[in-house]
């Protein structure tokens, strides 16, 4: 029996298999509102046969957007737009849907990637990014504005309010984004946090605000809703955030009711030196799982079915998360099921698509029946 296609309980949420669609920014929202693009994009991914889909990084306030085109969940209009998309696609798919709540911090006010990704100046329609300390993410860029106590409270509460909105529209789980050089990661790393108050300096101080945000989100939603955290296990820079600190942070999160850790790396410093290769971040997920007992998602250059199967079967992670791989091949779980002897849920109109000679992979038909 394929371990990749075995069920997994994420807290009280049952996943049909261990394949997760990772958050992937689309940069096609309007004032934070989900658009027709999201209807198409999410619709076909929700028919992929994966066990869970996590929506892209969703800003908890307008100043926290990476770009002016980020998805958001800070207003009634944002909530209504996303609710419309989800209710539409869920008529045809039953895959659980999580959301990644985020604040870009000093990486905000940027052009979309296909336009270069550089900072948008205020006089060209951008805004002044916020950060733990007035340290720009790249040399030559203007310094962000250091957050004061009032702003910290506002952002913490914005995460909680966004979590409540997510709960109202039927989201099944929440992932707090503390990775990839965005705001909460900026607090964690000594390369971006030079504060001299209770939120800077020692490890216990640097993890304080991210923990406060997690606690606010955890308290804002029902106990039955899984709440996890995406972390960068290392900055890949000498003297930066590293695995040892990640283990300490994960342990504190576990004590506060964290359901899972989604383990990535990097994204904070242009000095990072990442040894790219198949599954290059998997050992970080294995270390966190082994040290804390928390369920982990492994992500990063996981492209082959047998590779994913081996990660789960060896106990290195509880779930594998796919990003670019599943954009390139939205039926990756179907092909993996055929290769590994697994089964996936499929809509009835697609049943005749199975090529002759392949094993019966469609184990559960939820839609199109009379």
- In order, the DSSP letters of 136-168 are -SSTTSPPPEEP-HHHHHHHHHHHHHHHHHHHH
- In order, the DSSP letters of 71-131 are -B-SSHHHHHHHHHHHHHHTTS----EEEEEE--GGG-SB--GGGT-PBPPGGGT----EE
- Provide the 10 A C-beta neighbour count for residue 141: 14
- Chain-centroid distance, C-alpha 229: 8
Instruction: Identify which of 368, 332, 361 has the alpha carbon closest to the alpha carbon of residue 92.
Output: 368
Place of tokens 């069920």: 7
In angstroms, the Cα distances linking 184 to 152, 207, 211, 304, 365 are: 11, 9, 9, 32, 41
In angstroms, the Cα distances linking 67 to 27, 101, 165, 279 are: 7, 15, 21, 29
Half-sphere exposure of 49 (CA within 13 A, CB side): 28
**What is the C-alpha to C-alpha distance for residues 94 and 97, in angstroms, rounded to an integer?**
9
Catalytic residues: 182
């Amino acid at each position: 029996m394929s371990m990749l296609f075995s069920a997994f309980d994420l807290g009280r949420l049952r996943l049909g298999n261990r394949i997760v669609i990772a958050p992937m920014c689309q940069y096609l929202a309007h004032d934070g509102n989900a658009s027709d693009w999201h209807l198409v994009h999410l619709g076909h991914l929700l028919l992929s046969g994966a066990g869970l889909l996590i929506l892209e990084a969703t800003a908890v306030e307008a100043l926290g957007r990476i770009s002016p085109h980020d998805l958001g969940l800070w207003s009634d209009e944002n909530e209504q737009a996303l609710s419309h998309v989800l209710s539409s696609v869920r008529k045809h798919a039953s895959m659980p849907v999580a959301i990644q709540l985020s604040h870009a911090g000093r990486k905000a006010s940027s052009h979309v990637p296909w336009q270069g990704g550089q900072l948008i100046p205020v006089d060209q329609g951008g805004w002044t990014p916020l950060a733990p300390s007035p340290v720009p993410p790249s040399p030559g860029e203007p310094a962000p504005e250091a957050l004061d106590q009032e702003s910290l409270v506002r952002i913490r509460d914005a995460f909680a309010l966004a979590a409540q909105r997510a709960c109202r529209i039927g989201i099944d789980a929440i992932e707090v984004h503390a990775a990839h050089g965005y705001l909460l990661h900026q607090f964690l790393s000594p390369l971006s946090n030079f504060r001299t108050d209770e939120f800077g300096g020692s490890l216990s101080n640097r993890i304080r605000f991210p923990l406060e945000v997690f606690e606010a989100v955890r308290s804002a939603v029902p106990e039955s809703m899984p709440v996890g955290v995406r972390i960068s296990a290392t900055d890949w820079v000498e003297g930066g955030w590293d695995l040892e600190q990640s283990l300490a942070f994960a342990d504190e999160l576990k004590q506060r009711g964290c359901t899972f850790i989604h383990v990535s790396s990097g994204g904070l410093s242009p000095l990072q030196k990442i040894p790219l290769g198949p599954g290059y971040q998997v050992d970080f997920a294995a270390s966190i799982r082994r040290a804390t007992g928390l369920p982990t998602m492994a992500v990063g250059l996981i492209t082959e079915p047998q590779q994913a199967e081996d990660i789960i079967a060896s106990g290195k992670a509880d779930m594998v998360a796919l990003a670019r791989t599943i954009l390139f091949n939205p039926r990756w779980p179907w092909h993996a099921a055929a290769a590994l002897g697994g089964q996936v849920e499929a809509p009835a109109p697609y049943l005749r698509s199975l090529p002759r000679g392949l094993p019966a992979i469609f184990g559960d038909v939820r839609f199109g029946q009379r």
